[in-house]
Amino acid sequence: MTPSSDTTSILSRRDFFKASGLTIGASALANVKVPHVFAQGSDQLRIALIGCGGRGTGAVVNALGQKMSLKLVAMADVFQQKLDNSYKSIKAKFPDQVDVSDDHKFIGFDGYKHAMDCLRKGDIAIFTTPLAFRWVHFKYAIEKGLHVFMEKPITADGPTSRRMLELAKQASAKNLKVGVGLMSRHSHAMQELYKRIQDGEIGDINFMRGYRMQGIIGSAFSEPWPGEPKELLWQISRFHSFLWASGGAFSDFYIHHVDHLCWLKNAWPVKCHGVGGRTFRTAPSGKPYVDQNLDSYSVEYTFQDGTKLFMDGRCMNGALPIYSSYAHGSKGMAIVSKSGDCGRPSSTYKGQNPSKENMLWTSPDPKVADDPYFNEWEDLTDAIRNDKPYNEVERGVMASLVTSMGRYATHTAQEVTLDEMLNHEHEYAPDADKFTMDSPAPVLADANGLYPVPEPGRKTKREY
Ligand SMILES: NC(=O)c1ccc[n+]([C@@H]2O[C@H](COP(=O)([O-])OP(=O)(O)OC[C@H]3O[C@@H](n4cnc5c(N)ncnc54)[C@H](O)[C@@H]3O)[C@@H](O)[C@H]2O)c1
């Protein structure tokens, strides 16, 4: 793997390996007084939604349900239909907190600017497009002095990871509050588990396991581009298929387990290798699958102290489904997520057998309210209201980078270090800030409709 010419360490070694801290910006700025950024002239903050799909709609619903009075005033997307559906759904739930006139609805790649232009300094922008546009939108939000909530993952390659780390510092320097949708860390059950593990309940962590093995989901598997909409827009609508748009199935689906297991360990792994393959390349229709994903991944991450994290992912109909995570310590073990990305109950056990008799602790009944998607907004709005340091971008980048490292290592069949991943020169969606509706897609189909795909062991210096 070739490092870029700029291999200067963006983070100190300490920052680099530590997974628990909230912000680089906040710690760096601990002694610097920066003004509280709160929109003037109203108790009610305004929100702009950029990327009006499933998660964007959900994030606005989480936001409007908070104690802090918020109002949705602008929306942007690249598809009219997506924006219209999202608007209708949010308006039906919060009729009094949605005031998006037609001239505040924007379609196109520059829509993000217009939507954020509808906000005042100290209002909130939500970024829920596929990740390729995170740095573009974040940069503008910082210029405008806006607080931000952005969905995971936030980068898929080295250059944009470095860029986002720099932007994170700029946001903290302006005292902007930034939430990143790695919601496990806002689950109260997992926060209690984190505390118990730090207090030594299961001893020193020796190894951890994450599994997200399921059928074919999202837009991870694609048949050839049907010719419309334009290739760029089609790839965006099938973003799980394309590494430039999403980091692919590995980044998009497996990041939550990678993130919360690293959090429990208080560190980021320093290297990894992985095995993976693509068993079926033909769709039931008989057409070829043209996406850039493998269907099976198994990555072995290694931490500085030798601890291992194993992450298994699979998208295959009919195969054994497992969707959970575990931490094993010198005295006992923990079921971290029983089911799903951060599904309760979390629990701890003496020894390595998670039986009822061995149970030390279990989180409250799943019926007790603890919705991490709601909690992450509660934490963000609390930080805005009470001017608390709050910037989750560094850890969001690191979780994204560690996930990308696992994907890259499997796709190339090489051992890859975190330093190498961070300093790699291949940018997957260059000029994402200049896209128009007529721009060519970052990867183009060949005469057979096929896209460049990973070839483990053959393509070793670049992923595809
Ligand atoms: N935290 C979680 O559990 C969770 C769950 C689901 C999705 N997500 C994340 O949220 C993001 C969106 O996922 P989704 O499932 O909502 O996808 P989606 O396709 O439903 O929504 C994405 C929307 O963004 C729009 N869009 C794409 N590029 C745009 C651009 N440049 N400008 C404006 N709009 C643009 C698309 O047209 C679409 O409407 C992804 O990064 C995904 O990983 C997170």
Residues of the chain with pLDDT > 90, as a percent, come to 89
285 with 259, same domain: the answer is: yes
CA–centroid distance, 244 to ligand 1, in Å, is 14
Question: How many domains does the chain divide into?
Answer: 2
160 with 209, same domain: the answer is: no
Closest C-alpha among 167, 171, 128 to residue 146: 171
Residue 445 domain-assigned? no
Q: Which protein residue has the closest C-alpha to ligand 1 atom 27?
A: 129
Please list the residues that pair with 340 across neighbouring strands: none
CA distance 448 to 381: 50
Judge if the beta carbon of residue 419 lies within 6 A of ligand 1: no
Q: Mutual orientation of helices 248-265 and 393-412 as an angle, nearest 10°?
A: 120
pLDDT at 36: 77
141 with 77, same domain: the answer is: yes
Residue 51 domain-assigned? yes
Q: Is 80 exceeded by the pLDDT of residue 29?
A: no
Q: Is 81 exposed, middle or buried (0-12, 13-18, 19+ CB in 10 A)?
A: exposed
152 with 207, same domain: the answer is: no
315 with 422, same domain: the answer is: yes
Q: Which residue would you say has higher pLDDT here, 2 or 277?
A: 277
Residue 332 domain-assigned? yes
Q: Is 70 exceeded by the pLDDT of residue 17?
A: no
Q: Which protein residue has the closest C-alpha to ligand 1 atom 8?
A: 55
130 with 191, same domain: the answer is: no
Residue 56 domain-assigned? yes
Across the chain, what does the average pLDDT equal? Answer: 93
Q: How far apart are the first and last CA of the chain?
A: 13
378 with 336, same domain: the answer is: no
Judge if the beta carbon of residue 131 lies within 6 A of ligand 1: yes
381 with 246, same domain: the answer is: no
Average pLDDT over residues 425-433: 98
3-state helix, strand, coil in the chain (%, to 5): 35, 20, 45
pLDDT at 32: 52
Ligand 1 atom having least distance to the Cα of 58: 16
Dump pLDDT digits (tens) for 213-244: 999 999 999 999 999 999 999 999 999 999 99
Which range marks the domain in which residue 313 is found?
186-370+402-427
**CATH assignment at residue 54:** 3.40.50.720
294 with 243, same domain: the answer is: yes
239 with 333, same domain: the answer is: yes
211 with 267, same domain: the answer is: yes
Judge if the beta carbon of residue 372 lies within 6 A of ligand 1: no
22 with 100, same domain: the answer is: yes
Average pLDDT over residues 40-65: 92
Residue 241 domain-assigned? yes
Closest C-alpha among 255, 134, 239 to residue 183: 255
**CATH assignment at residue 216:** 3.30.360.10
CA distances from 200 to 170, 203, 243, 264 (A): 37, 5, 39, 11
Residue 356: partners with Cβ closer than 8 Å, 6 or more residues away: none
Average pLDDT over residues 178-193: 97
pTM of the model: 0.94
Using pLDDT thresholds of 50, 70 and 90, give the confidence band for residue 369: confident
Residue 452 domain-assigned? no
Please list the residues that pair with 297 across neighbouring strands: 276, 313
